[in-house]
A and B are shown apart, each in its own frame.
Chain A
């Protein structure tokens, strides 16, 4: 039988799940009576471990209190108001409406997700299921390496290579033809920096994250699932599509959510590529701004405590959204792992 009874042996991965194949004996779980010296040892580790918890609370508390001033003054207008004007002029009063930034963040992350999610899941499938063994290690290695490239380097590449290429090869012809009818693609293309370029670079950045997590989740699927499918005569693709993917669906969605979280919070590549303007423009080619780049650009130059507080509330919103996404994603991945362990034993 041509079934690959595979070499899927215990294998260290990102989450280190394979480490736990044998149930640990009870004495190591802290339930046994602690011997001399163990009480201070446990207290010490607990103290430093609670520093991690404290840190999260410190971040949340700081963001909450420092954004109080702006939140009481503007309320939900901080996120949905359309004018961001930190300096009072004769024509415009001071106003902090973060909608341009929120809209830019959501749109660029959405573009990134639309491009990256299907590609990354396909890469994950290829790496976990289809890839010839010779290629598997170098490709996985490459994907993990790319996840480590600093975001500022994606920004440099985007500014000097991708933006000139994209505006002459795609944006200009597209805005000259389709742009007349569809306002999303309308010109003019001034610097070439804008939401769509940001979205594409963000897609490149989150690809490795989603792909390696998807691969890890697919690897957790027990081989019995594949073997059962192959034994009743399914093709490789049917095995993947009807047995492997349904089994790990929650985990794949979790991986995509983590990718989305990274795209929403990404700062440097967005700051360098989005154009940083508070004007809302229909066109995806026009400069815009994102929440993270707004904070990075203005916080150190804030003109008043209200301005600072408004920027911190934008960061607070960003923290809240990514917290929520991470929580959901971890829950989904944890769900898959728990099920997988059940299936294995």
Chain B
């Protein structure tokens, strides 16, 4: 009887261990598939002009020459070429319309890349002071009751849906100024970045050994002096990590940008006007009826994924090294 029981237990053991390994395999496969699809199809959309050109409407028309220049758009109007109909052959037969429909992808996403970097960069400027100082507070005055409240509010912010940040800024900024703008988008992203920066700063400062603070204090330094000259420099690589993660998170967000930045088809330098962003382009090209633009959706997704994943990989590699050194 005992042998039977033992055999059954061993069987259950192996079965369940196998099942959990299988579950891991099952889940990892589609996830790898997503990355694989984006990398293979997306890299197919790559070309030199994809990185150097802005939006071009689908068209089979020959490239503009000196004799017949393309329609010039008003560079101050971000919607200038939104209204331009796809241009077919001048004969205008139905066959040509189909040709436009099947036109090869044209143009690029330079405006999206620049826009994403601008919007997320300005968002980071908003988020950094609040995030880092709140992190210092949480770490250096960690036992105060107010610190618990701040920590909870951070969790609320990081757990609330990104669309809520978008709605908040839409009501507080976009409706007040009657203008979609890149800055509004940055503010919405800052709401999402602040909890990440705060919590990583806090954790990184906590990792700094107490002996270092004791040494500074032993030499007569007040807390603020030891924080800025001893603790912060020691934790700097970790904090930079958190900042990069926050940037990657912000760069990938779409929903808040729909409500605040709106999007654009040209390179816009005015941060108080609508601006293009990679996630917005990805979304719009995905919903586009033109197969050429659908290909570009994969391309934009590829660039976005590269941006986000490279940043994450860099960060993980960097943390592993510094984590090993500090212990």
| Residues of chain A having any CB pair with chain B under 8 Å | 10, 12, 15-16, 19-20, 22, 24-25, 27-31, 34-38, 40-42, 44-53, 55-56, 58-59, 62-63, 66, 118-120, 122-123, 125-127, 130-131, 139, 141-142, 144-146, 148-157, 159-161, 204, 207-208, 211, 235-238, 240-241, 258, 261, 264-268, 271-272, 292, 295-296, 299-300, 311-312, 315, 318-319, 322-323, 325-327, 329-330
Contact = CB atoms under 8 A, between A and B. Distances in A.
A37 B133 contact: no
A56 B156 CA distance: 7
> Number of contact residues on B: which range applies?
35 or more
Contacts of B194: 52, 55
Contacts of B27: 119-120, 123, 207, 211
Contact of A319 (B160, B258, B279): B160
Given A28-B140, A144-B316, A145-B313, A151 B160 contact: no
Contacts of B253: 150
A183 B196 CA distance: 44
Contacts of A46: 137, 141, 146
List the 9 shortest-distance A-B pairs measured between CB atoms, nearest first.
Answer: A265-B161, A150-B252, A41-B224, A16-B203, A122-B23, A48-B133, A326-B159, A45-B137, A267-B255
B28 interface: yes
Contact of B312 (A44, A145, A161): A145
A144 B33 CA distance: 16
Interface in B139-184: 140-144, 146-147, 149-150, 152-157, 159-168, 170-172, 180
Contacts of A157: 33-34, 37-38
B82 to A, nearest CB: 15
B55 to A, nearest CB: 18
Interface of B: 9-10, 12-13, 16-17, 19-21, 23-24, 26-28, 30-35, 37-38, 41, 129-130, 133-134, 136-138, 140-144, 146-147, 149-150, 152-157, 159-168, 170-172, 180, 191, 194-195, 198, 202-203, 206-207, 210, 213-214, 217, 222-225, 227, 245, 248-249, 251-255, 258-259, 262, 279, 282-283, 286-287, 294, 297-298, 301, 304-305, 308-309, 312-313, 316, 319, 323, 327
